[in-house]
Amino acid sequence: MASVACIGECMVELRQAQGGQSAGHSSGQGGGLYSRGFGGDTLNTAVYLARLEVKVDYLTALGDDALSDEMIAAWAAEGVGTRRVARLPGKLPGLYMIQVDAKGERQFFHWRDSAAARQLMNLPETDDLLNSLMSYDIVYLSAITLSIYDAAGRERLFAAIKRARLLGTRFVFDTNFRARGWPDRDVAREVFAAAFAAADIVLTSTEDLLALYPGESREQLMARIPSPELVFRLAEPVSLLRFPGGPYEVRAEPMTKPVVDTTAAGDSFAAAYIAARLAGSDPVEAAQAGHRLASLVICYSGAIIPGYAMPPKKRHRPATTRQATK
């Protein structure tokens, strides 16, 4: 059975709740109640992969606290493998808070500098974890993943991915760019260039790349990425694909329901694309699957839609045999 290793960070999420202020507490902006959950881009992708019947493990570090225990239990309940999760005594997961204004615009606040996940590349068990990447068909991570490690940690991770690719593992890089996670854009550009050079498949968007390379055309942005398989999502629901036999343009089907929340649109697209490629679909069919799932996810509030709302399972052609990178 094809398998995926998703690497990243899941944090505790405090989301502004609907309805009134908490009794006895107010601030200059009105205070309010917050609901608690969990969130993380690569974790969202891992959950959707599991729901699409892909064998997936989540690779991260957590603390030994009750919140970390809750995360582990929730991931396992979704079918996400947790055997590669390092548990660090005395540490905690990161935390972020979402506030929404009267117009529905979201603002994020983060507390993550000492989160357990940031130490994943510097643990006694790190070598074993990185060596395990060779056992997976795909290693998936995002730019957010790379932003939480220091330069030495990123170098260690890239070296392990290159070793795994020699045995046929494919590396999928998602350019999910958040400027607040990087010391400056020059560092981010350097890391992106290294990821582009190592990746077999790059999932990106105009939103991500224009933040790093402002003013460049689509053609210039795509030319920066040498990966053999590229999915370039535009501002409108359209993907430009470049792969042997391409290029192609794939348009999402028109929406029939109102958009409620765009959270995890890209994460779910990535999951459906990877699942389809592992099942034997070509990139065009995989992008169509990605658009279908993303178009469904944005009709619900939150990153993870209810299980009953998932689309019916589609049979794909058998996956091809893994081949080592030349």
The tokens describing 304, both together, are 């993870």
Q: Mean per-residue pLDDT for 111-116?
A: 88
φ/ψ (deg, to 5) at 96: -140, 155
From residue 122, alpha-carbon distances to 119, 129, 152, 157 in Å are 5, 11, 9, 11
pLDDT at 246: 81
The CATH number of 3-19+33-309, from 3.40.50.1220, 3.40.1190.20, 3.30.110.30, 3.40.980.10, is 3.40.1190.20
pLDDT reading at 318 higher than 80: no
pLDDT tens digits for range 163-209: 999 999 999 999 999 998 999 999 999 999 999 999 999 999 999 99
Q: What is the reported pLDDT for 314?
A: 64
Position of tokens 């991931």?
Answer: 75
Give the span between the Cα atoms of 206 and 244, in whole angstroms. 22
Q: Is 41 a catalytic residue?
A: no
- Which among 65, 101, 267, 282 is annotated as catalytic? 267
Q: What are the structural domain ranges in the chain?
A: 3-19+33-309
- pLDDT reported for residue 35: 83
Q: Token digits for 164?
A: 């795994």
What's the mean pLDDT in 229-252?
94
What's residue 18's pLDDT?
A: 60
Prediction pTM value: 0.90
Where residue 322 falls among pLDDT bands split at 50, 70, 90? very low
Region 35-64 average pLDDT: 95
What is the predicted pLDDT for the residue at 105? Answer: 56
Partners of 36 in beta bridges: 14
Three-class DSSP labels, the chain: CCEEEEECCCEEEEEECCCCCCCCCCCCCCCCCEEEEEECHHHHHHHHHHHCCCEEEEEEEEECCHHHHHHHHHHHHCCCECCCEEEECCCCCCEEEEEECCCCCEEEEEECCCCHHHHHHHCCCHHHHHHHHHHCCEEEEEHHHHHCCCHHHHHHHHHHHHHHHHCCCEEEEECCCCHHHCCCHHHHHHHHHHHHHHCCEEEEEHHHHHHHCCCCCHHHHHHCCCCCEEEEECCCCEEEEECCCCCEEEECCCCCCCCCCCCCHHHHHHHHHHHHHHCCCCHHHHHHHHHHHHHHHCCCCCCCCCHHHCCCCCCCCCCCCCCCCC
Quote the CA–CA distance of 114 and 240 in Å, as a whole number.
39
Dist. CA 11–CA 38, nearest whole Å: 6
